[in-house]
Chains A and B, each alone.
Chain A
């Protein structure tokens, strides 16, 4: 059941390229049907999602690593599932008309559906690794959707920027999860929640908190990682509305909310989230006020609102969680609608530039009505949902277990300021585009398609209904969601009219202040925010700095790479050998000199042992001083004979026989080879290089001997040879133990060996024939 939510959209997305061609005109309807059926399914679960009835599913995937395909459908997941599928349905209906005959229509629906599936998987996953996988899948689908028009270099660059920032954050989050695993030995979310106290007492607590926050703030475009979101607006409007406002950017919020239970009250968690969140609220809001492009305005507004939610979840009380959860729902609804309205304006007028738009209310009265509802909701005007959530937010900031201290007063003050700025840019959006006289721009299309008004219209209806009657979602969605986060029953109690409380006063102040800010925003823009404002936008210093770092990295990487991978065989060998020598030296420093004296004790040296070793060394030396290939081959044959003798002497007849045969064959081959090649060597290295090579090789030789003696002088594990000796006759029915190991106990090794020799033989044969035929 829980699996359907992510599996169905993914399968539907993968199937898009395979659909019959007549379906290509109705892909929006196809995708909307998929999402609508899942929405219905999720809606049917609403009464079930209380406490005991939480649905879970678990399948052992890699149990040894603690990775299970675990899914959960509790109150909080269900809220997200409803958002993703509900808004998804409307977005796809809208796309049916808006995307029309877009060049990349197949890619668009394919990735949108896969994104929807990944996002649904993310919010229902109950195992941290599974959550990470879906997290990155949303990042990847976002990358392809931002860069949908891949012939546009700006789209590609912006997609890359978003990918880089969010993937880095995702990796940080993964590292945090691994630290949790190191602490608890589990990736299961339920167990992490159950054993929260162990994490809170762990010495790894601070790194875990920082890494998880890094993941959340990059994904949710929190200051100072917000720069990727405005540049992601290069994507088509449905993508912006769906991924970059309603759903994907809320994944960071989701993560923080899920972990509130574990980390709530820990100073570094609370302070970091509240400070970053509130900074984002103000910075994003002020930057939104500066924008002239409708979509950019909405992008910065989204950043600002995400910051506010982040701060609220960071406070970590049930009241703040309830307020943030309600705001999350209402923000997804009205922000999604606002993006769609911006898209409709662009579709109809061909421009999103607020300065060139005027009097659209006369041209598109219905759309203007819808826009009024949703932008006033964003601005926090009653009776829309934005007002209810703002009330709840302000109330939550002042509603703390202990007495309200300076920290919370400041937080509440900033929330008021933020709400004022929010109202100001909402008015700018509404009045800038729809207000004014008849003298506005002319439409480029005859009439507004109904779908492009109905989709945002439906969302506007939702924002009115849940604004006027918040009790509707309170009992069924918000309270169960907070219950799931807090781990015990909770009743949120959201109302349009919450009574004469401090929050109401603050709300009134915010609205008044917002109108003032709107009236004087140009002055504020030009004076106060001149400097900082320029630095932080998607065209500002922050992005330029980021680009410079990327350019530096991509330029220096090949330089480092070419230094090591320059194609010089000798350099590779030198690096490998030097690394090996360094490792041996390090081990030596750590353990001290091995007990060589043990070797000398039981030594039973005969003349023959000494002579064998001496001749081996002499043979090798002789080989090195020969200038002619034939002499070298003779010396090599001599050494081979001595190795054979060594095997025979030290009780290894099988080896001696094999070595003898191989050595004979090798000498024959080498002589044959020489006859086809040069008789002498015509290149010789300069004296200095030669000296270096000699020194290097001598050091290597010494190291090998030293290492060997060190190994021999330390006690070794008992050999497994007795097993083979005992079982050779019994199991393999043969008495020669070496043979039974080769053909029976380790038969597959030998099979591999035969394969290698066979392939070498084939290659040798082919090349010999080529040489003979003179090619």
Chain B
């Protein structure tokens, strides 16, 4: 199960990096979101994939029947923080666009104080 998902993660990461390298701030935001998907899934896969259970501490529950709960907790934090950062960056882009009439990072570099 891990192999195909790992390949898909590679596509997400590569695509995310490609968008990060573009000049448009909007594309950079989208690239960042793709990269964070890739990162979350990476942590998830490393915690081993299992089907058909949930981490509820019932009698007789044992590790292996569901995804590693620690990994899940980490990803949950990552999802929320990734969302916060993307939202912040997006608003920043909108604001900059309003002021400059452009969303090109190269043009922003030439903007002085």
Contact = CB atoms under 8 A, between A and B. Distances in A.
Interface string B46-59: 11011111111110
B87 A708 contact: no
Contact of A652 (B44, B62, B83): B44
Interface string A635-678: 01001100100110111111100110010011001100110111
A757 B45 CA distance: 26
A455 to B, nearest CB: 56
Interface string B82-100: 0111111011111101100
Contact of A704 (B27, B38, B94, B109): B38
Nearest to B73: A741
Interface stretch (A58-66, A179-187, A357-365, A758-766): A758-766
A662 B6 CA distance: 23
Interface centre among A606, A673, A735 (most CB of B within 10 A): A673
B50 A650 contact: yes
B13 A676 contact: no
Given A673-B26, A708-B46, A738-B69, A701 B37 contact: no
B6 A705 contact: yes
Interface string A585-622: 00000000000000110011110011011101100110
Contact of A569 (B79, B83, B94, B105): B105
B18 A570 contact: no
Interface string A221-257: 0000000000000000000000000000000000000
Contacts of A767: 91-92, 94-95
B24 A639 contact: no
A709 B84 CA distance: 30
A191 interface: no
Contacts of A570: 20-21, 105
A726 B12 CA distance: 36
Given A568-B109, A673-B26, A708 B45 contact: yes
Given A567-B109, A685-B22, A737-B56, A721 B69 contact: yes
Nearest to A677: B97
A685 B23 contact: yes
A213 to B, nearest CB: 50
A676 B21 contact: no
B22 to A, nearest CB: 7
Contacts of B9: 704-705, 708
Contacts of B80: 658, 662, 753, 757
Interface string A683-706: 101000000011011111111111
A736 B55 contact: yes
B10 A725 contact: no
A721 B94 contact: no
A553 interface: no
A698 B14 contact: yes
Given A604-B1, A742-B73, A677 B109 contact: no
Nearest to A674: B26
A757 B13 contact: no
B23 A613 contact: no
B93 A701 contact: no
A603 B84 contact: no
Contacts of A600: 3
Interface in A161-190: none
A702 B9 CA distance: 9
A702 B109 CA distance: 32
A204 interface: no
Contacts of B69: 721, 724-725, 737-738, 741
B10 A702 contact: yes
Interface residues of A, number: 102
A658 B76 contact: yes
A603 B3 contact: yes
Interface string A177-216: 0000000000000000000000000000000000000000
B80 to A, nearest CB: 6
Interface string A517-552: 000000000000000000000000000000000000
Contact of B13 (A573, A700, A711, A771): A700
A512 interface: no
A697 B18 contact: yes
A20 interface: no
B17 A700 contact: yes
Interface in A709-750: 709, 711-712, 719-722, 724-726, 728-729, 735-738, 741-742, 746, 749-750
A662 B79 contact: yes
Given A640-B37, A643-B40, A724-B69, A666 B77 contact: no
A616 B12 contact: yes
Interface string B64-82: 0111111011011101110
B55 A737 contact: yes
B1 A705 contact: no
Contacts of A741: 69-70, 72-73
Contact of B34 (A623, A720, A724, A742): A623
A724 B72 CA distance: 12
B53 A651 contact: yes
Contact of A643 (B28, B37, B63, B68): B37
A708 B26 contact: no
A4 interface: no
Given A676-B94, A677-B94, A697-B15, A666 B58 contact: no
B46 A605 contact: no
A681 interface: yes
A683 B58 CA distance: 57
Contacts of A18: none
A599 B2 contact: yes
Given A662-B80, A701-B10, A704-B42, A651 B109 contact: no
B63 to A, nearest CB: 5
A649 B57 contact: no
B25 to A, nearest CB: 9
A738 B72 contact: yes
24 contacts: A599-B2, A609-B1, A617-B7, A624-B15, A646-B5, A651-B54, A652-B66, A670-B30, A676-B94, A685-B23, A699-B14, A704-B42, A708-B42, A725-B69, A729-B57, A736-B55, A737-B55, A738-B72, A738-B76, A741-B69, A749-B77, A753-B80, A757-B80, A760-B84
Interface of A: 567-570, 573-574, 577, 599-600, 603-606, 609-610, 612-614, 616-617, 620-621, 623-624, 629, 632-633, 636, 639-640, 643, 646-647, 649-655, 658-659, 662, 665-666, 669-670, 673-674, 676-678, 681, 683, 685, 693-694, 696-706, 708-709, 711-712, 719-722, 724-726, 728-729, 735-738, 741-742, 746, 749-750, 753, 756-757, 759-761, 763-764, 767-768, 770-771
Interface of B: 1-15, 17-24, 26-30, 33-34, 37-38, 40-42, 44-47, 49-58, 61-63, 65-70, 72-73, 75-77, 79-81, 83-88, 90-95, 97-98, 103-105, 109
- For the complex of A and B, the 8 pairs showing the least CB-CB separation, nearest first, are A701-B14, A705-B10, A613-B4, A760-B84, A697-B18, A741-B73, A616-B8, A737-B69
Given A573-B20, A757-B84, A760-B85, 9 more contacts: A570-B105, A616-B12, A620-B11, A646-B5, A701-B10, A712-B6, A729-B57, A736-B56, A770-B95
